[in-house]
Structure 1
């Protein structure tokens, strides 16, 4: 069953970074867009966009049924990213149970496409080269609760596609950077802090990256060309913090942070984590899990997305330039990128 651009398109999680960019691109294509939000969701990222907003919750199947009525495609971009929670129940409830509810309703509603925003965290580790979709998950013994929940969600998604005929495509998305980040997301805002000269120290870690606009474009291309039951790596350039932060700081003429070895950062996290546990604190962001996740993901091979989806991401330098320019206009007052820097990027 093929998708139809004439039917209403539903975006869940449309107020978030990925979801709102999917909405923007759908609107730019002239699509009829419905966005499902919680009553408490901020709507800054959707301001001025001609979309229908309905209120609901993925944990409430009845609200999902109302939201999907008459829809041809569902872009599912709901995620609870709070990896720091001590209690795992909300992480599983929001990331797994909510997705299952949405898939059940999507099957009843006979939607034609279901595009699931997954994560690179569900991919395996390859010590001998870039990671592909074919490498099975192989680091369960070290994966924290958040990663296990996202893996459970993706596995349930693939089961629905394989066993129950859900016309779904999963996107394993790398760390996203770019403009129009109204929340903002922690790592994207951290790049702005580095560019502004407000971050004296960084850790010697690396990450696969992707421009948020290219991630959203991949979702629309997956709707058109993605094979049901398949997952696609959506990642562009892998970069170490030393080069990444130097690039960011250079745009505004600031000194990049001093880079501290990974082992030093992990040791500090271990000490702080131990103290917080002795104090019986909960939900702390500084942890050995967070430090481990900051450097576990290596180079990802997006060849499958490039071949099958005709996906072509922009250079990382353009992403960094546009991210800093947007934050400068929003938060930095008179700070801006020079024309020479913009042309050089």
Structure 2
């Protein structure tokens, strides 16, 4: 095994865990961070060093970064809603990015691959491309955090003289999910028939293992200061997604969700937001989300990733089928293990 240590922050998260497994398969020495040592089931029996650290706590990162050559900055708050979204999502993601680069500089880290998101792309120009700029819609604190932390990572990498490469995944789904991510949970809802209406919001499904591979290749072949989209080229509608699940599991008798007018969605979302204010629970739909994504075809230009990283993901339909099979047959058993 290589003597050089690669650090993966957030090793018990969906992408982080898949990335740790991939690096180990490449005979790379791996250290990874977890916020809470009580949640390490996903790292059981893996030959990697586990350090307790929180990216929002600079002091906790120093032990994790000591002696590390390369850092995969994966850990972040991937939430679309919080009781105080500005503080819990935006501020935490920005502070986490600042801390990662500050400690990387202090500890002599040479290379950082920073995991951003397609949320940091300009959706006004489709198919979206990394050179099109950033998302100009500022109504969602998660999307704001990805826009601004993406820019901050590039600025700090240049300031500190650290080779910095950014990867921007789309809707990651698939295996090694010891807890359901936002996007895997959507697939799980499809399986359980919990998609009553079609919100006319499209998805760009991508297998998390393909994202892990693209992230690994970004460390090896990515150019300093560049951004790479890790997605499929074409979107999948919600109706198409339910149809794929229905054809795969006809015994579930899944019903195709019906589209409803945008104005009706606004009204429903408004009621859900009002109920959220009373209960403190996340609304299933928000008005600004409808405004941002209703009818948007989430297609991406991944030519750069293909040419420079050798990124060649499985098709979106295959990624969804594999995720459906995993969540139906393996996830519950794995969770109970």
- TM-score (normalizing by structure 2): 0.89
Shift in Å at residue 291 of structure 1? 3.5
Which stretch of structure 1 is more off in the superposition, 321-330 or 166-175? 321-330
Q: 1:309 corresponds to which residue?
A: 309
The answer to whether the 8 A contact 1:35-1:51 is kept is yes
Q: Residue 211 of structure 1 corresponds to which residue in structure 2?
A: 207
User: Are 2:183 and 1:184 equivalent residues in the alignment?
Assistant: no
Identify the residue that residue 71 of structure 1 maps to in structure 2: 68
The Cα offsets for residues 314-334 of structure 1, whole Å up to 9 and x where unpaired, read as 11222122212212223578x
SS in 2 for 1:15: coil
1:107-153 deviations in Å (ceiling 9; x for gaps): 122222101111111111234x311111122523x431221122121
Does the CA contact (< 8 Å) of 1:191 and 1:248 recur in 2?
no
Structure 2 Cα separation of the partners of residues 244 and 33 of structure 1: 36
In structure 2, the residue matched to 1:270 is 270
1:173 aligned to 2:169? Answer: yes
8 Å Cα contact 1:206-1:297 kept in structure 2? yes
User: In structure 2, what is the equivalent of residue 96 of structure 1?
Assistant: 94
- Asked if the contact 1:36–1:53 (Cα under 8 Å) also holds between the matched residues in 2, the reply is yes
323-332 or 59-68, which moves further after superposition? Answer: 323-332
Q: Is the 8 A contact 1:204 1:241 kept in 2?
A: yes
2:32 alignment counterpart: 35
1:248-288 deviation per Cα after TM superposition (whole angstroms, max 9, x unaligned) = 221111334322235133331023324544x4x54533321
Q: What CA distance in whole angstroms lies between the structure 2 residues aligned with 1:290 and 1:41?
A: 34
CA contact (8 A) 2:34 2:54 kept: yes
Cα deviation digits, residues 280-323 of structure 1 (max 9, x gap): x5453332134345545621111111111111101122212221
Kept after mapping to 1: 8 A contact 2:33/2:52: yes
Which residue matches 2:149?
153
What's 1:107 paired with? 105
- Is the contact made by 2:177 and 2:331 (CA closer than 8 Å) also made in structure 1? no
Distance (whole Å) between structure 2 residues aligned to residue 311 and residue 38 of structure 1: 30
Match of 1:233 in 2: 229
TM-score (norm 1): 0.87
Unmatched segments (≥5 aa) in structure 2:
none
CA contact (8 A) 2:119 2:135 kept: no
**Compared with structure 1, are the counterparts of its residues 74 and 273 closer, same or farther at alpha carbon in structure 2 (3 Å cutoff)?**
same
Task: Give the CA RMSD over aligned residues.
Answer: 2.3
Count of matched residue positions in the alignment of Structure 1 and Structure 2: 326
